[in-house]
Structure 1
Amino acid sequence: MSTLVCFHAHPDDECIGTGGTIARASAEGHRVVLVVATNGDHGEIPADMPAGKTLVEVRHAETLKSAETLGVHRVVWLGYEDSGMTGWEQNTNAGAFCNAALDDAAQKLADVLREENADVLTTYDWHGGYGHPDHIMVHKVGHRAAELVPVRVLEGTMNRDQIRRGIDAARAAGLLKEDEGFNADGPADDGNPMGTLESEINYKFDVVKYAPLKRAAMKCHASQLSDSGFFMAMDDDRFAAQFGNEWFIDPKSNEPMRDGWIFE
């Protein structure tokens, strides 16, 4: 069996882009390790925050619950501060992940890759899907770590064409008004369109069987449900249609998109 290391920016990022891949890999008997770069301290503060608890403590517990739901065998925290969205004052904090020394952060991840004798590392596409400073840093750190400890790297991304189709379908079904939702081709956090065009993606992983687990893991992050409420409101069939595939770029491949699997 093989070992998969999934590298993510924040607590809850593991669910949407790789939740199905994690669940499938674990169910098939592979070892799965989740590495989280930041503590998520600049996420949404819930109105029902437990007395005496910090947001970091709450999100840490939520991530452990999500990881257990998906079948993760080990969770590693790199310990950086959340950088916040582009333009936030937190971007300048010395402890923010986006300001970390690249080689130092990469060495922390490389240590995990070496300890686990990892076969595959997932990171993000070149602009982290939508331009979040921490997501961009995950891309950079992931690739640098793979230079220190050779491992196959796959970049998780969002299928822009699929997002567009999903929004159109939601509007057609009356779930969204014409002026609701967002423009999949419009500027995201860094001014670039969200995700990647289907024509530039190499792999589609079929994880529809694991969509219920993926959804259950998303629900574990109760403090951040304001970010995923639209997804949670979908019926099971629509959720599976939208999230039953996960999308990856192989930076060493020029092949067109095809159905595949992470350990092939």
Structure 2
Amino acid sequence: MISTPDLRGHTVLVLHAHPDDEAIFTGITLRRLADAGARTVLVVATAGELGGSRVPLRAGETIPERRLAELERAAELLGVSRLALLGRRDSGLPGWADARHERALAVADPLQLARDVAEIADDEGAAAIVHDDEHGIYGHPDHRAVFRIGATAADMLGVTGYRVTVDREHLHVSARDRHLVHGAARAAAVPFGRVTAEIGLAVTGTEAHLQNKRAAMVAHASQIADDDVPVDGFASAYGYEWFTRSGARGPLDALGNAHLLAPVPA
């Protein structure tokens, strides 16, 4: 049974690299935190400029404009209290020349961006900062940068850091080639995630939370088509969100730990 803790008075800052990462990797967590009364601050480092668009843009519309509009809609669905942008540029996949662009997140000063994130977190009184793990989940340069930024910001403030990952063993058993991270890892030509034994926390949700997460994902229509995330099997692929932790137990732990390949309702 999934209970709703009382997290009123708690604030959690969630840092991601691109629009849509928040829904794919932390959509259930964000919604459950909001439902529990926590204030959630979503900070996104880039506008995902290099993601292209799978839908036609309006006359005069740019990809960053479309992606940020989609991000705002997804954030609303996930109950985000505040959305902030770091204003860096998408670096592209490993080896792309875009990573050397002067505005690219991959070449930005991580210490300065960590100070920026720490300032937001401090102003908000955040008890925890959620960010990608040291592998960047699947090795994307921007996700690796988000690890450096988020981990440093958490250390600066002495708050709990939750590091986003995926359980590749679970996905191999329950959702082989059905999670978007599979295609992303192939494109990046690197391994993804962690083995089950390395993961300390898995957050899951009710059927309503899963439906909300799916709606937030497909709100990013320029990146995620409806048939990319079929309802049949969605829970197996996206029903858990995985984290390791640095520091003391914090608000995400209060959501309960569904770790170790437990079945998720179809």
What TM-score do you get using the length of structure 2 for normalisation? 0.84
- Of residues 247, 250, 261, the one that matches 2:254 is 261
- Check if 1:154 corresponds to 2:127: no
Q: What amino acid sits opposite 1:8 in the alignment?
A: H
Q: CA deviation at 1:152?
A: 0.6
Contact kept? 2:14, 2:131, Cα under 8 Å: yes
1:122-149 Cα offsets, whole Å, 9 max, x none, are 0111111100000000000001111222
1:43-91 Cα offsets, whole Å, 9 max, x none, are 1223411111111111111000000001001000000000001111101
Distance 1:152 1:130, change over 3 A: same
Contact kept? 1:130, 1:188, Cα under 8 Å: no
Q: What is the alpha-carbon distance in structure 1 between the residues aligned to residue 121 and residue 255 of structure 2?
A: 16
Match for residue 206 of structure 2? 208
Match for residue 175 of structure 1? none
Q: What is the alpha-carbon distance in structure 2 between the residues aligned to residue 80 and residue 215 of structure 1?
A: 27
Q: What amino acid sits opposite 1:204 in the alignment?
A: A
1:178-207 Cα offsets, whole Å, 9 max, x none, are xxx9699x977263x210100100011122
- Of residues 231, 237, 247, the one that matches 1:242 is 237
Q: CA deviation at 1:261?
A: 3.4
Q: CA deviation at 1:16?
A: 1.2
- Check if 1:19 corresponds to 2:14: no
Q: What is the alpha-carbon distance in structure 2 between the residues aligned to residue 195 and residue 188 of structure 1?
A: 15
Contact kept? 2:166, 2:193, Cα under 8 Å: yes
Q: CA deviation at 1:107?
A: 1.0
Q: What is the alpha-carbon distance in structure 1 between the residues aligned to residue 67 and residue 238 of structure 2?
A: 23
Match for residue 224 of structure 2? 225
Contact kept? 1:128, 1:135, Cα under 8 Å: yes
Q: CA deviation at 1:246?
A: 1.2
- Of residues 40, 46, 59, the one that matches 1:38 is 46
Contact kept? 1:36, 1:76, Cα under 8 Å: yes
Identity of aligned residues (%): 36
Within 5 Å, give how 1:5-16 maps onto structure 2. Answer: 5-16=13-24
SS of the aligned residue for 2:136 comes to: coil
RMSD: 2.5
SS of the aligned residue for 2:22 comes to: helix
Q: What amino acid sits opposite 2:237 in the alignment?
A: Q
Contact kept? 2:159, 2:247, Cα under 8 Å: no
Distance 1:15 1:122, change over 3 A: same
Q: What amino acid sits opposite 1:261 in the alignment?
A: A
Q: What is the alpha-carbon distance in structure 2 between the residues aligned to residue 260 and residue 148 of structure 1?
A: 21
- Number of equivalent positions: 243
What TM-score do you get using the length of structure 1 for normalisation? 0.85
SS of the aligned residue for 1:126 comes to: coil
Contact kept? 1:208, 1:245, Cα under 8 Å: no
Q: What is the alpha-carbon distance in structure 2 between the residues aligned to residue 163 and residue 76 of structure 1?
A: 31
Contact kept? 1:204, 1:260, Cα under 8 Å: no
SS of the aligned residue for 1:261 comes to: helix
Match for residue 63 of structure 1? 71
Q: What is the alpha-carbon distance in structure 1 between the residues aligned to residue 154 and residue 127 of structure 2?
A: 11
Q: What is the alpha-carbon distance in structure 1 between the residues aligned to residue 177 and residue 51 of structure 2?
A: 29
What runs of 5+ residues in structure 1 fail to find an aligned partner? Answer: 171-180, 254-258
Q: What is the alpha-carbon distance in structure 2 between the residues aligned to residue 215 and residue 162 of structure 1?
A: 19
Q: What is the alpha-carbon distance in structure 2 between the residues aligned to residue 160 and residue 91 of structure 1?
A: 27
1:128-178 Cα offsets, whole Å, 9 max, x none, are 1100000000000001111222211010110111110134597xxxxxxxx
